[in-house]
Amino acid sequence: MKFEKRDRDFILAHLQQMISEDRWQKFHDIISQRTRYITVILEDIFQPHNASAVIRTCELMGIQDLHIIENRNPYLVNRDIVVGSDKWINIHKHNRHDQNTLSCFRQLKNKGFRIVATTPHKSDVLITELPVDQKIALVLGNEGHGLSETALKNADTFVKIPMYGFTESFNISVSAAICLYELTARLRNETSGWQLSSEEKDLLLLDYALKTIKNPRTFMRRMKMELENRLD
């Protein structure tokens, strides 16, 4: 939903009157910590509870965008796991091409993201050593087979999580949580420019507020009519 700043301000002023002061402030506090500097890509996850757990983690860590590649396995939300977290972030599904993984990677690389594969590799680095000087797209693979050959061939960097036991790997939702906790902490402490732009914050505030009120479509129709009348 796109509006000029003046129109956004007009709509937001009306919305603020419909929402409690505490909730309005919470929206601002959360949005101030949202980032699009880091995103997560899930490739062909077939267990809904795993992908849903990652969505929940992303929302809590302030990650605004998550990408789901559906080459063979469509993602179905597990409502008991996401507990509404999918309502507050943007989920982008990639399922329209023969090479959905490659299409997703290309889109993100064109936006300046480094594709970071979470898998053991001869040239991998520890997650604690991964530089945060460039936007990061963290890729997690299928529970049974890991990342596809396409993902491995087109990744820019490989990372691993330190492990000290016999088991081969962490569950993907645990891997996502460990990686995002590490990366977002360093992002906030070591870099600048990770926060949303003023326009992005306004649009997200508008989105959050509309999801809170009753009959948002009726409200927006009224706002559009009032904006049109202002132009006459």
CATH assignment at residue 100? 3.40.1280.10
In this prediction, residue 71 has a pLDDT band, given cuts at 50, 70 and 90, of confident
Please say if the pLDDT value at position 207 is more than 90. Answer: yes
> Quick check: is 77 in a domain?
yes
The share of the chain scoring above pLDDT 70, in percent, equals: 97
In this prediction, residue 220 has a pLDDT band, given cuts at 50, 70 and 90, of very high
Contacts with 222 (C-beta within 8 Å, 6 or more apart), sequence order: none
Q: Where are the alpha helices (DSSP H) in 62-197?
A: 79-82, 100-110, 149-154, 172-190
> Quick check: is 223 in a domain?
no
Please say if the pLDDT value at position 230 is more than 90. Answer: no
What does the alpha-carbon distance between residue 121 and residue 159 come to, in Å, rounded to a whole number?
8
Pairing of strands 113-118, 125-126: unpaired
> Quick check: is 127 in a domain?
yes
| Per-residue model confidence (pLDDT) at position 232 | 60
> Quick check: is 16 in a domain?
no
| Per-residue model confidence (pLDDT) at position 47 | 82
In this prediction, residue 92 has a pLDDT band, given cuts at 50, 70 and 90, of very high
Strand, coil or helix: what is 164?
coil
The mean pLDDT of the chain is: 92
Higher pLDDT, 212 or 123: 212
- In the chain, where do the E strands start and end? 38-43, 65-69, 90-94, 113-118, 125-126, 135-140, 157-160
Is the Cβ–Cβ distance between 130 and 116 less than 8 Å? yes
Is the Cβ–Cβ distance between 176 and 159 less than 8 Å? no
Phi, psi of 120 (to 5 degrees): -60, 135
Average the pLDDT over 15-29 and give the result.
Answer: 97
Please say if the pLDDT value at position 44 is more than 80. Answer: yes
Max Cα–Cα distance, the chain, nearest Å: 72
> Quick check: is 2 in a domain?
no
> Quick check: is 45 in a domain?
yes
| Per-residue model confidence (pLDDT) at position 231 | 67
Strand, coil or helix: what is 2?
coil
Tokens found for residue 38: 């880091």
> Quick check: is 200 in a domain?
no
Average the pLDDT over 174-196 and give the result.
Answer: 94
Q: How many CB atoms lie under 10 A from the CB of residue 77?
A: 14
Is the Cβ–Cβ distance between 186 and 180 less than 8 Å? no
Higher pLDDT, 50 or 112: 112
> Quick check: is 105 in a domain?
yes
Residue 173, judged by CB atoms within 10 A of its CB (0-12, 13-18, 19+), counts as: buried
Q: Name 42's bridge partners.
A: 68, 140
Pairing of strands 90-94, 65-69: parallel
The share of the chain scoring above pLDDT 90, in percent, equals: 73
Query: ∠34-103-182 over CA atoms, to 5°?
Result: 35
| Per-residue model confidence (pLDDT) at position 195 | 96
Where do we find the tokens 């898998």? 119
How many domains are contained in the chain?
Answer: 1
Q: Which domain holds residue 73?
A: 34-190
Average the pLDDT over 96-112 and give the result.
Answer: 94
